[in-house]
Amino acid sequence: MTVNSSRFLADLHALRDFGRDGQGVRRRAFSDPDLAARAWLADRMAEAGLTPHFDPVGNLFGLVPGQSLLLGSHSDTQPEGGWLDGALGVIAALEVARASLEADGRAISVVSFQDEEGRFGALTGSSVWSGKLNLAAADALVATDGTQFSDARARLAARASDFVDPARFVGFLEMHIEQGPVLDQAGDTIGVVTGIVGLRQFQITVKGEQNHAGTTPMAMRRDAFVAVTRIATLLEDRLANIATPKTVWTIGHLRLEPNASSIVPGRAVFMLQWRDADAERLQRIEEAIQGVLAEVQGGTGCAITFERLRQDLAPMPMDDMMQAELAKAAKRVAPGQWRSMPSGALHDASNVAALMPVGMLFVPSINGISHAFEEDTAEDDLVIGLKVLAEAASRLAPL
C-alpha cells in the first residue's frame, strides 16, 4: 500500500476547521462542531469504501467486512484544544485504511472514540465500549455545564446502531502526539510506546493550629504550610532512591486555610500524584510517601491524613508483538530517530487493551506543548508517523 501524504494533510486540516479558534480548536464531545466533524468523518469513511457505524455512545467506526486491524484515536478536544491531539490518529487511520483498500490490501478498520478528553468522565467512549464503565453509569455522568451524558448522546441517536463486537478486530494501533517534551528535545521523530503509566493520587490534609502571625513565637507554632514544605522536601530526598528517570510526582493543587498573610496557616489540603509504568514501583513510592507523612507528623505536631481521591490507574503495558512491529517500521522509516518510551498521559489504547493486543506510536510535540492552542508538530514528522503506522499496519492486519 502507498499512503498519500497530501491527502492525509488535507483531511487533517479539513478536520481542524470544525470548531477552529485561531491555531487551535474547541470541539468538546457532542458539541455542534464535534457532531459536524463526526458527520464529515463518516462521509470520508464512506467515500473511502469503509462502512460508517456510530455506536450508542458516539464512537464512530469505519468498518471493513470480516476480521480487521483497528486503527484510530479520538476527534473530540479539550475546551481549548490543540489541532492535532487525537485528530491526528483518526485521520492517519483513515488514510492508512483508505490506502489499503485502494491497494486491495490488508483489512483495516478505523475508529474515532468519543469524549476521550473527559467532558463527562475520562475516556468515556472507549470506557463504555471496553466494558470498564457500564452504560447506565455513563448516562448518569454530568458535565460541568450541567449537561447529562444521556442527553448528550441522544443527539446522535438517529444515526446510532449497536456496539461493535470487539471480536472482529485482531488488534488496535493508536498514533498520537507525545504531549511531552522528550522526542522534541532529543530530536527524535518516533516514539514506540512501551506502556501507559499507572497513576496514584492522594489528597493529603495537614491540620496544624491557626495563629496570629505576629504574636505566636516560631517555637510555639504548628504551621500547616511549614509541614507541607517539609513533606515536599523529604519526598524529593526519599523518592530519589526509588524513582527512575521516567517516574514523575507532582503537587499541583494546594489550598491553605485561612490563606491570609498575617495568619499562621491552620490547615493545608493538597494533591500528591505519582506515575510510573511499573506497578511494583508505584507501590514502593506509596510506602515511601506514607513514611514521609508519618515522619513529618511526628516532627511538626500537625495531624496529617490522606485519602485516595480517584481510583488508582494500573500501568498498561503495550503488546510485545505490536511494539516489535512498530519498532521495525520505525527503524526502516526513521532510522536512528526513534526510541521506545512510556506514555505519561492516558489514552483510549489503555481501555482497548482489555479487549485485544494494543500498540501506540508517538510523534513529537513542539516544545512539549499540548492541550493548548499552540500545540503543533512539524509536517515532516506527521508524515513520518503516518508511514510508520502504515508499515506496521500492513504487517499486522489480516489479509
Q: Return residues touching a second copy (CB under 8 A).
A: 178-182, 185, 197, 199, 201, 211-220, 223, 225-226, 228-230, 232-233, 236, 243, 245-254, 256, 259-265, 271, 273, 275, 343-346, 368, 370-371
Judged by beta carbon, residue 225 or residue 338, the one nearer a second copy is: 225
Judged by beta carbon, residue 138 or residue 226, the one nearer a second copy is: 226
Judged by beta carbon, residue 22 or residue 214, the one nearer a second copy is: 214
Judged by beta carbon, residue 218 or residue 399, the one nearer a second copy is: 218
Smallest distance, a second copy to C-beta of residue 99, A: 30
Smallest distance, a second copy to C-beta of residue 202, A: 10
Judged by beta carbon, residue 22 or residue 217, the one nearer a second copy is: 217
The answer to whether 57 touches 153, Cβ cutoff 8 Å, is yes
Judged by beta carbon, residue 154 or residue 279, the one nearer a second copy is: 279
Judged by beta carbon, residue 211 or residue 337, the one nearer a second copy is: 211
CA distance 41 to 34: 10
Judged by beta carbon, residue 256 or residue 355, the one nearer a second copy is: 256
Smallest distance, a second copy to C-beta of residue 59, A: 24
Smallest distance, a second copy to C-beta of residue 167, A: 32
Smallest distance, a second copy to C-beta of residue 174, A: 15
Smallest distance, a second copy to C-beta of residue 221, A: 8
Smallest distance, a second copy to C-beta of residue 195, A: 13
Smallest distance, a second copy to C-beta of residue 354, A: 20
